[in-house]
Amino acid sequence: METDGGGRGERRPENKRHHGRGERLAGQGPSTPRDCYRDLSDCGLVSFPDGVFKMIRSCTDNIHKISLANNQIKALSNKFFVTFTQLREVDLQGNVLSTLPEAVGNMEHLVSINLSKNKLTVFPERLTDVSSLQHISVEGNQITELPMEKLSLMPSLRSLDVRCNPLTADAVSFSHHFTLLT
């Protein structure tokens, strides 16, 4: 079984070694760019590797976008959101997440989060505490209710994609200032 370097065996054994995109983890070139993007999509991950926390701890303030799309991640720890406090975009689509940790509500700079095609049955209400959030996608989950009153109080929210969820009619009937994709 391949591991993440932390010795915990956090990749699924049937996947091949990652095909290059994740190699940007240690920076690009001799110095880390000012605005970093980390792409760990399609890696067969079942959790966020502890080894990555150790490898990039000195430059986490420069990481503004992370993609963990199309893995098999079941849960993210509070440590993920506590470590990457400067994130502006997080792409978690195509995993098997059923919840988000409480710490996501403390992300002061988060502008966009993609939670499409996961296993969410309840809208992650801690997202409504993130005043900077402009775009939320929970398309293709199993969410039946939305906290529309709380969502309507989000000052920066511009779009909420809830397509392909079994929402009740009452869930989307609230007046709002953002684009609701249903």
CATH number (domain holding residue 116) = 3.80.10.10
Q: Is residue 16 part of a domain?
A: no
Q: Is residue 15 part of a domain?
A: no
Domain containing 110 equals: 21-181
pLDDT digits (tens, 9 = 90+) for 54-78: 777 778 889 999 999 999 999 999 9
pTM given for the model = 0.80
Region of residue 70 (left: phi > 0; alpha: psi -120 to 50; beta: else): left
The domain total for the chain is: 1
Q: Is residue 63 part of a domain?
A: yes
Q: Is residue 132 part of a domain?
A: yes
Q: Is residue 9 part of a domain?
A: no
Q: Is residue 124 part of a domain?
A: yes
Find, among 131, 129, 146, 140, the residue nearest to 180 by Cα. 146
Reported as type and span, the H/E element at residue 89 is strand 89-91
CA 52, 55, 61, 65 dihedral sign is negative
pLDDT digits (tens, 9 = 90+) for 145-168: 999 999 999 999 999 999 999 998
- Percentage of the chain beyond pLDDT 70 is 80
Q: Is residue 99 part of a domain?
A: yes
Q: Is residue 13 part of a domain?
A: no
